[in-house]
Structure formats: C-alpha cells, structure tokens
C-alpha cells in the first residue's frame, strides 16, 4: 500500500498542453476517481502516474519516493486497461502469472498465487483457456487478476468497464468496490461515467482541460460544487441552469433572485460567500430532484415535452415560456402527459448561485 502525490505535473504533446499543472495528494488506501469529459486529460494523468508517458515538468512521488523518471515496473503500480490488453496467445493462468514470471519468482510461488487469485475472481474453471474463449466480464477479471497478482502499492484503472454491457458493468463495479474493501490498496480509477465515480470513489477529482476543477467526497461535490462545471457534471440527470438576476437582499446575507424569463420570481437564496449586489446577473443551478410539486396555479410552469418513466421516479422535461427546457423529477405517479402544462415550485434551500464565469457565489 502506498500514498501518492503529484506536484505541478504537466504534460505537453507538441504545442498542446494536455495536463496543465496538477497538484494532488492521495492518501494510502484511498479510492480516487478521476472524472471528466473526454479530452480532459484524465487518462493522460493516469498514464503519467503509471510511467507510460513522461512528464513535461513536475514530480510524481509514490510512497514518498520520487518516481518521476522511473520505469513503470519500478513504481510499484499495476494497471488495468480499458481494452483489457490480455496476451491473446497465452492461457489465463500464464496471463495472470506473467508479472511474477517477469519478476523471476519461483514457479511454485507463481502457481500458488495464480490459483489463489483464480479462486478470488471465480476464474478457476478457465485457467487453461485462451482469452478469446472467455466472455467480456471474464476477460476483465483476468486483467484485474494480472494486476493484483504482484500486490502493487497502487492500482490504476483506465476506464475498465466501458467495454462491457450495462448489466455486467454494474456487476463488475460491485466487484471492484469489494476488491478495494478486501485489499485496502490505493486505487486510482479513470472514468467519464459520473455514476461509476459517485458509487466507487472515496474521493472524486473532477478534471477539465487538463486542470483539476474540484476534489472531494462524492456527496461533497454533489452538495457543494465549486462551479457550474462540477455542478453540471456530478448528478444525473444533469443540473438545470437558468439565467437570473439578483433583485434584492435580506438582512441575514440572503439574496432575492428572479429568473423572469423562465417565470421564477423572488426566490430567497443563501449564497456561499458574500451576497452579490442587486442587479448582478447570476445563474441558478437547480437539480431535477429539488423541484417541488405545486398545486398553486400561479407557480412556475411550462409545457411537458417528454416524460421518462423509470418506475420509481419519472423525469419530466418541461419547456418554459422562454424556450429553455428543465428536467423535473417526480416520485408520485401523477398523471402527466406530453403537451400538458406542468407546474412546480423550487426548494430555495437547494438552489445554487453561479456568477457569469461559472464560479459559485
């Protein structure tokens, strides 16, 4: 087990800066998820940690040791690739034992460890098969087995579940979570899927354009995002954003905002920092689950364009008078049809305020 720290890590490919000065400390045994849209540099950052790419500047320390210029094998890491990257001409047993074989370990030890891992990962019946004779989930388990066999200090996962179908993905997600509880090893996991990030991480690192936007526990990011990007990225369906204006202030550092075009008036919201002056344009961030049903005929409303019924909850897509569409979560089995007018209220305690640059106010 090892902790890990990055100091001002940068990576340039030609003129393009893919990772732009990342500072990050990962504690021993943490499960950290790098999340962000494609091209945000999360995979490159992982490959820099693995040593598959060299840093343009900055340092990487693993377990207190500077490994910036070291070969991957000397870093005490193991990696699971998005594409599994199994050796197709070798059996499952040889695949799993390969890192030990490269480490010149005695054959009895290799056999014993491979058998042990096959038991943990339910691969025992398949040890003599080739990767092409396995299903996607089994292949992924072989890849994980090959990673854990060496008992590395840090596990790196590069979008390991994105090649699997939905059902298998959920199953493997649970297996990875269980594995972390069992091994208690530091894990760094890259994904673009915020559900994976929320469910697996002890800490999420949100990246955009090669820079860290925010780090924190999943619920922290959900409840207290620093900016509209993080707010929009974490949570599913996405947070709704409405243009609004500060129209007044109350005595206790609260502001009154109105999104007139959307039909929202006089919401009393508590900003995170000092209250902005009246007249300041702001963006309201409201999650779909923070709309309240309202029987009041004067409440905000719009025309229902689409309803997604998931069973327990339904998502109603409502077109507001200004043409913008908001997603509203509904738990009651109301009778809602497309084309109807749907009215709702907003829980002001759960409304986020962002300035024009997207920063939390």
Partner 1 sequence: MKRSVVQSFWLALSGFGLLLVIGLPFWWVITGSIKLPREIIGRVPTMIPQSFTLQHFQKLLQASDFLVYLINSVLVSVASAIIVVVLAVPAAYAFFRMRFPGRNGLYRAILLAYAFPSIVILIPLYGMFSALGLIDSPLALIIVNVALALPFSIWMMRSFLSNVPREIEEAAVVDGAPPAVILVRIMIPLITPGIASVGIFAFISAWTEYLFASVLIVSDARRTIPVGFAGIIGQYQIDWGLLLAGATAAILPVVLLFAFVGRWFVAGLTEGAVK
Question: What does the binding site for partner 1 look like in residue numbers (CB under 8 A)?
Answer: 50-52, 71-73, 77-79, 81-89, 98-99, 102-103, 130-134, 136, 139, 146, 150, 163
Residue 237 Cβ vs partner 1, minimum distance, rounded to whole Å? 30
Nearer to partner 1 by Cβ, of 25 and 133: the residue is: 133
Cβ distance to partner 1 smaller for residue 91 or 224: 91
Give the residue with the Cβ less far from partner 1, 82 or 202. 82
Q: How far is the CB of 85 from partner 1 (least distance, A)?
A: 4
Rounded to a whole number of angstroms, the minimum distance from the CB of residue 87 to partner 1 is 6
CA–CA gap between residue 160 and residue 175 (Å, rounded) = 12
Residue 130 beta carbon to partner 1: minimum distance, rounded to whole angstroms: 6
CB of 281 to partner 1, least distance (A): 47
Smallest gap from residue 103 Cβ to partner 1 (A): 6
Q: How many CB atoms lie within 10 A of CB 14?
A: 5
Nearer to partner 1, 43 or 214 (CB): 43
CA distances for 32 relative to 144, 150, 208, 216, angstroms = 17, 21, 16, 9
Nearer to partner 1, 95 or 215 (CB): 95
By C-alpha distance, which of 226, 181, 185 is closest to 204? Answer: 226
DSSP codes of every residue in 93-145: HHHHHHHHHHTT--HHHHHHHHHHHHHHTT-GGGTTS-GGGS-HHHHHHHHHH
Of 20 and 72, CB closest to partner 1 = 72
E strand segments, 260-348: 264-269, 281-286, 291-293, 300-309, 314-319, 325-330, 341-346
Nearer to partner 1, 156 or 246 (CB): 156
**Using CA atoms, how far apart are residues 89 and 133, in angstroms rounded to an integer?**
11
Dihedral class, residue 175 (left if φ above 0, else alpha if ψ from -120 to 50, else beta) = alpha
Task: Strand 281-286: give its sheet, edge to edge.
Answer: 264-269, 255-259, 240-249, 281-286, 352-354
The shares of helix, strand and coil residues in the chain, as percent rounded to the nearest 5, are: 30, 35, 40
**Minimum CB–partner distance for residue 77 and partner 1 (Å):** 7
């Amino acid at each position: 087990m090892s902790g890990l720290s990055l100091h001002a890590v940068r990576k340039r490919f030609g003129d393009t800066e893919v990772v732009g000065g990342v500072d990050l400390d990962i504690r021993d045994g943490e499960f950290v998820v790098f999340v962000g849209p494609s091209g945000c540099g999360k995979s490159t950052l992982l490959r820099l940690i693995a040593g598959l790419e060299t840093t343009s500047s900055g340092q990487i320390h693993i377990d207190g040791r500077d490994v910036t210029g070291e070969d991957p094998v000397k870093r005490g890491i193991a990696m699971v690739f998005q594409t599994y990257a199994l050796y197709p001409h070798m059996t499952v047993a040889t695949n799993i034992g390969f890192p030990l074989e490269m480490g010149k370990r005695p054959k009895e030890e290799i056999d014993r460890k491979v058998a042990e891992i096959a038991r943990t990962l339910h691969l025992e019946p398949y040890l003599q098969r080739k990767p092409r004779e396995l299903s996607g989930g089994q292949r992924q388990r072989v890849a994980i087995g090959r990673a854990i066999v060496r008992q590395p200090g840090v596990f790196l996962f590069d979008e390991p579940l994105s090649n699997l179908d939905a059902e298998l993905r959920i199953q493997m997600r649970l297996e990875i979570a269980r594995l972390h509880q069992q091994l208690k090893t530091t894990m760094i996991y890259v994904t673009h899927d915020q559900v994976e990030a929320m469910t697996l991480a002890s800490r999420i690192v949100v990246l955009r354009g090669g820079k860290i936007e925010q780090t924190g526990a999943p619920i922290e990011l959900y409840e207290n995002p620093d900016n509209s990007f993080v707010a929009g990225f974490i949570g599913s369906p996405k947070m709704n954003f409405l243009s609004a204006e500060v129209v007044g202030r109350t005595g206790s550092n609260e502001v009154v905002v109105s999104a007139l075009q959307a039909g929202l008036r006089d919401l009393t919201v508590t900003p995170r920092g000092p209250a902005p002056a009246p007249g300041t344009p702001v963006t309201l961030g409201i999650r779909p689950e923070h709309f309240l049903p309202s029987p009041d005929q004067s409440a905000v409303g719009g025309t229902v364009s689409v309803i997604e019924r998931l069973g327990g909850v339904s998502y109603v897509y409502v077109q507001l008078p200004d043409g913008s569409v908001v997603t509203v979560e509904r738990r009651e089995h109301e009778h809602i049809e497309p084309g109807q007018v749907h009215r709702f209220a907003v829980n002001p305690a759960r409304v986020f305020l962002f300035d024009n640059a997207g920063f939390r106010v």
